[in-house]
């Protein structure tokens, strides 16, 4: 079965950086399309980044220029490098597998990694 396991969260100071990783299994990762979605405490879901199987990348305006998504097909993983962090980036970050046909919905989600930006 599909499994997505995020790691790398924690407490980081404003202006600092952190790298999240998502280990994938149960499907052919190199053929997959992946996204990161975040949820601030007590708030709703916010899509923030996407990477296709061929490397096409999109970012939400809120993170563009600060966050970098990448993938390593040899390690079946997708990562999110988060730079210039602000208090407003405090959230649980979910890795999700995008449907492989129309690329429009998230068919599987990881359990999330909490990032807290605070001094």
Partner 1 sequence: SYVLSQPPSVSVAPGRPAAISCGGDNIGEKSVHWYHQKPGQAPILLIYFDSDRPSGIAERFSGSNSGNTATLTISRVEAGDEADYYCQVWDSSTNHWVFGGGTKLTVL
Give the residues lining the site for partner 1 (CB under 8 A): 35, 37, 44-47, 50, 58, 60-61, 94, 99, 102-112
- The nearer residue to partner 1, 61 or 74, going by C-beta atoms, is 61
> Nearer to partner 1 by C-beta: 13 or 99?
99
Min CB(104)–partner 1 separation in Å: 4
Q: Which is nearer to partner 1, 20 or 37 (CB)?
A: 37
| Shortest distance in whole angstroms from residue 9 CB to partner 1 | 14
From 84, 110, 119, 114, select the one nearest 10 (Cα to Cα).
114
Of 74 and 104, the one with the shorter C-beta distance to partner 1 is: 104
Long-range contacts of 71-76 (CB under 8 A, 24+ apart): 71/34, 73/29, 73/30, 75/23, 76/23, 76/24, 76/25, 76/29
Cross-strand pairs, 47: 37
- Compute the distance between CA of residue 32 and CA of residue 37 in angstroms, rounded to an integer: 16
Shortest distance, position 59 Cβ to partner 1, whole Å: 9
């Amino acid at each position: 079965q599909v499994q997505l396991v995020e790691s790398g969260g924690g407490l980081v100071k404003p202006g600092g950086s952190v790298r999240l990783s998502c280990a994938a299994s149960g499907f052919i990762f190199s053929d997959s399309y992946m996204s990161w979605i975040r949820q601030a405490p007590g708030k709703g879901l916010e899509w923030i980044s996407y990477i296709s199987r061929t490397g096409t990348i999109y970012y939400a305006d809120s993170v563009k220029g600060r966050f970098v998504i990448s993938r390593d097909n040899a390690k079946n993983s997708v990562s999110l490098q988060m730079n210039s962090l602000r208090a407003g980036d405090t959230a649980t970050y979910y890795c999700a597998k995008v449907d492989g046909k129309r690329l429009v919905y998230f068919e599987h989600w990881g359990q999330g990694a909490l990032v807290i930006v605070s001094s």
